[in-house]
Chain A
Amino acid sequence: AQKVTQAQTEISVVEKEDVTLDCVYETRDTTYYLFWYKQPPSGELVFLIRRNSFDEQNEISGRYSWNFQKSTSSFNFTITASQVVDSAVYFCALSEYSGGGADGLTFGKGTHLIIQP
């Protein structure tokens, strides 16, 4: 069965520091998808990124970057020059469906990121 582990329950950093959120996954499928979602204090879930198992290229979007390494089954998320608005709970999720998502996502327990001014 698939499993997603986010070992960091809570991280607190000072604004402008870089921070990395770890995600380790387990799956027996060769085709799978990995996701990151953000949940700000308001409670909604915001999609950040999807990555399929055949694409190990790192992704950068502004201050956000993702590092996917199949060799270590990890899909880590880095925020560069953090800002107070980045404070949220971040979830890593896995889907084993070849189309990504149709059978539902398996979520990690989330990492609560606190950015102090």
Chain B
Amino acid sequence: NAGVTQTPKFQVLKTGQSMTLQCAQDMNHNSMYWYRQDPGMGLRLIYYSASEGTTDKGEVPNGYNVSRLNKREFSLRLESAAPSQTSVYFCASSEVLAGEETQYFGPGTRLLVL
């Protein structure tokens, strides 16, 4: 049981390049999320998927697209990377216990855009 996995762990991009961050969970969770963490800002929600086949914007969706490929996988794509997208990206999935959900996070992807 690997939990939530993310690839790659670290990536350097040049401005204008594109890339896809991959996320997978093996806990059979319905909901998945992408957050970004910037120094002094906490974590901010980019996009989420409440169930397979649905996606919704979070607080900071501009410059990103997502795909819920299946129940296990939720990818985040940067079509044209900008230095402002330099950040640590966390994927999360949530489970329901006694009617209450809790989010579990992946290890993060550090992205540097030059």
Q: Is the CB of A109 within 8 A of B40?
A: yes
Complex Cα distance, B9 from A101, in Å, reads 25
Q: Knowing A102-B31, A103-B50 touch, does A47 contact B102 (C-beta < 8 A)?
A: yes
Q: What 1/0 flags go to A96-117 for Cβ under 8 Å of B?
A: 0101111111111110000000
Main secondary structure of the interface of A (DSSP, over half): loop
Interface flag for A33 (CB, 8 Å): yes
Within the complex, which residue of B40, B59, B100, B105 is in contact with A45, where a contact is CB–CB below 8 Å?
B105
Shortest C-beta distance, A99 to chain B (Å), equals 5
Interface flag for B99 (CB, 8 Å): yes
Main secondary structure of the interface of B (DSSP, over half): strand
Within the complex, which residue of B42, B48, B101 is in contact with A91, where a contact is CB–CB below 8 Å?
B42
Within the complex, which residue of A4, A33, A44, A105 is in contact with B45, where a contact is CB–CB below 8 Å?
A105
Shortest C-beta distance, B42 to chain A (Å), equals 4
Q: Is the CB of A101 within 8 A of B94?
A: yes
Interface flag for A43 (CB, 8 Å): yes
Which A residues touch B94, using CB under 8 A?
A: 101-102
